[in-house]
A and B are shown apart, each in its own frame.
Chain A
């Protein structure tokens, strides 16, 4: 075999040989590079975002001694189930109670917030009345105010009615979602046709019934988005419970883990419990996302083909 012909570094062979395949595979080959580039960038970011979770998972499987002395990103002796058992039974299962509280705050709060935001956004989009824009603009202003900034004023207000340190002190502020109103208004404006509402009215349905049996179905993707956002926002809302709650029995899981973490110096075993607890506490979020994301995707898709 001629060594020169096969060597890719020779200019003549390089020019001739690819030229043959070039014309054939022109389309795919041109897209290959940008596609590879995009994949690469995404892979790098996925790696970047997943590595803390990987670390968390690996750490949660280790015994207390192995935690500091072995490779932080790879397994040593597998103690995961023992660790989970320890967390769940520590102090009469207070961790499970926190998870339950978080589900109640986030699930219940997000559900009511979605209904309220959906009704409000729908009303703002489909009915014309005096002061409609003013109301909408005030709500829009609410999007700009960070929840953290409202925690202290809320605490002082709840103090006035002796309602701090109760379930309601965290639950009530969670059921409003200005962003949800904004999103549902925009979505209802484009997805609920006036003709359909007219038809429902002609059939004798009340406005409330029209909303719940016709419009809600059309707005469903937006409502799922609002629910998901609000669920995550409440689940991760840490500052409000920190300021409001003193009774361990009412803590959401974020505050509970934070409390444990702040006691590590006194009870070093808690370091392990915080790690395992943090891993367990993201599972409901993952489930919520996996379960609801298909609605979400179809929603975004519906918007884009319009």
Chain B
């Protein structure tokens, strides 16, 4: 009995130690007020980012700015561990000065009081107008005198499609969702699917909702409003549910080999995806090179010009950084200078969040995989059509999981997409309450 007792004692003690560490302050939505003044001497900043090749870009800055040296730290992409590391570091008081945070994770860092509001820095205020307005909205949360990061890249959406197959079968490339559904019927007659509904890409679904001008969250500065079941969301959900019910779309889980294979063998003909998806298809479906094209997203109303966004990230200054002035100087250079934007685009396919960045020479060229089409012209137009109203919530990891669980069930015939949104809505409200984040009901 004796060893057993001691063993329990040890286990209990460690459990206490653990809970002690994992409690956190939440609900505080106020960013730290800062003094944005230059330091007296040379400064060394730490910057955590998982962008492949970021070291080379930072080297360029370091050579030109001996007074502000930046040290790169790296790790897996945000949701795979780096965000958790940021939270741990914030708790331990050794967070890096700068970090990469995707738009959908910003609210989470904000409610945990992890971000510095850098709007007080004159450089930041001056730079606001160089960014695409909706991208700026993602970091300012639509508030005056607020900037919780510098927009880095965006993922405006469009329709990738197999131009050869559409042409061969005399099916017109759809410009509206109504036409898309009709084309889906035609494509199904050939034995293939017009597109794939990816059960695990909730982000893609959010992009489709984004196109309608709806949003999933609202924050009136005081309380969070959860709106996963708004009109836009339910319209999109019902539309895709109908396609799933009639077996007009396939439902391979995204980013798997069977998914790649479906595109590579021409079993699936199109993909509503973001600008960075251009590379995913090229690598996942190498046998179809030259047969793809890009068209604007299908519209809900004929002759409308709306678009959605899937992905994108920002460079933030973490709470506790002693050098916000220098940090914002670097962040602005990283995300606005054409030198840096070109390098980021070449090494990691980042698509700039500035208006001027859309005209980079490398984004004006034809792309071989797409039959030399100048596909980035389509995305540049799309980037300017994304609505500014979409807001992410502070518990996106949980929300994504809830929605994705429902989607997985829905594609196998259990429940519907709308049901998934409803249950995710309830789960999200519950999660917000658990974390003592104020919710409006």
Interface string of A123-157 (1 = CB under 8 A from B): 00000000001101110111011000110110110
Tell me, rounded to whole Å, the shortest Cβ–Cβ distance linking B348 to chain A: 5
Query: Which B residue's beta carbon lies closest to that of A151?
Result: B88
- Asked if B231 is an interface residue, CB under 8 A from chain A, the answer is no
Do A144 and B50 touch (CB < 8 A)? no
Determine the distance from Cα of A263 to Cα of B257 in the docked complex, in whole angstroms. 16
Do B52 and A263 touch (CB < 8 A)? yes
Do A141 and B6 touch (CB < 8 A)? yes
Q: Give the residues from 411 to 427 in chain B that come closer than 8 angstroms, CB to CB, to chain A.
A: none
Query: Which A residue's beta carbon lies closest to that of B13?
Result: A141
Determine the distance from Cα of A69 to Cα of B7 in the docked complex, in whole angstroms. 53
Determine the distance from Cα of A136 to Cα of B11 in the docked complex, in whole angstroms. 15
Tell me, rounded to whole Å, the shortest Cβ–Cβ distance linking A152 to chain B: 6
Known: A138-B6, A259-B75, A266-B52. A155 touches B92 (CB 8 A): yes
Residues of A with C-beta under 8 A to B85 = 242-243, 246
Residues of B with C-beta under 8 A to A142 = 10
Residues of B with C-beta under 8 A to A215 = none
Known: A65-B286, A145-B10, A268-B283. A156 touches B21 (CB 8 A): yes
Do B48 and A137 touch (CB < 8 A)? no
Do A267 and B257 touch (CB < 8 A)? no
Partner of A263, one of B7, B21, B50, B282: B50
Tell me, rounded to whole Å, the shortest Cβ–Cβ distance linking A256 to chain B: 10
- Asked if A17 is an interface residue, CB under 8 A from chain B, the answer is no
Tell me, rounded to whole Å, the shortest Cβ–Cβ distance linking B215 to chain A: 25
Partner of A262, one of B80, B89, B279, B280: B80
- Asked if B91 is an interface residue, CB under 8 A from chain A, the answer is yes
- Asked if B14 is an interface residue, CB under 8 A from chain A, the answer is yes
Known: A145-B14, A153-B17, A265-B280. A133 touches B260 (CB 8 A): no
Determine the distance from Cα of A226 to Cα of B265 in the docked complex, in whole angstroms. 51
Known: A155-B92, A159-B92, A246-B74. A149 touches B14 (CB 8 A): yes
Determine the distance from Cα of A160 to Cα of B93 in the docked complex, in whole angstroms. 9
Interface string of B263-275 (1 = CB under 8 A from A): 0110000000000
Interface of B is mostly: helix
Determine the distance from Cα of A138 to Cα of B349 in the docked complex, in whole angstroms. 53
Tell me, rounded to whole Å, the shortest Cβ–Cβ distance linking A67 to chain B: 7
Residues of B with C-beta under 8 A to A137 = 2-3, 5-7
Do A246 and B48 touch (CB < 8 A)? yes
Q: Number of B residues whose C-beta is below 8 Å from A?
A: 50
Determine the distance from Cα of A265 to Cα of B260 in the docked complex, in whole angstroms. 12
Residues of B with C-beta under 8 A to A271 = 283
Do A247 and B283 touch (CB < 8 A)? no
A-B contact count (CB 8 A): 123
Determine the distance from Cα of A142 to Cα of B13 in the docked complex, in whole angstroms. 11
Interface string of A262-277 (1 = CB under 8 A from B): 1111111111000000
- Asked if B276 is an interface residue, CB under 8 A from chain A, the answer is yes
Tell me, rounded to whole Å, the shortest Cβ–Cβ distance linking B47 to chain A: 10
Determine the distance from Cα of A144 to Cα of B260 in the docked complex, in whole angstroms. 43
Q: Give the residues from 67 to 91 in chain B that come closer than 8 angstroms, CB to CB, to chain A.
A: 73-77, 80-81, 84-85, 88-89, 91
- Asked if B409 is an interface residue, CB under 8 A from chain A, the answer is no
Residues of B with C-beta under 8 A to A140 = 3, 6-7
Q: What 5 new A-B contacts, CB under 8 Å, besides A142-B10, A159-B93, A266-B52?
A: A137-B2, A138-B6, A159-B92, A248-B74, A258-B76
- Residues of chain A having any CB pair with chain B under 8 Å: 64-65, 67-69, 72, 133-134, 136-138, 140-142, 144-145, 149-150, 152-153, 155-156, 159-160, 162, 164-165, 242-243, 245-248, 255, 258-259, 261-271
The 8 closest A-B pairs by CB, nearest first: A141-B10, A268-B283, A246-B73, A159-B92, A137-B6, A262-B76, A141-B7, A65-B286
5 contacts between A and B (CB under 8 A): A133-B2, A164-B94, A246-B73, A263-B76, A266-B276
- Residues of chain B having any CB pair with chain A under 8 Å: 2-3, 5-11, 14, 17-18, 21-22, 48, 50-52, 73-77, 80-81, 84-85, 88-89, 91-94, 96, 255, 257, 260-261, 264-265, 276, 279-280, 282-284, 286-287, 348-349
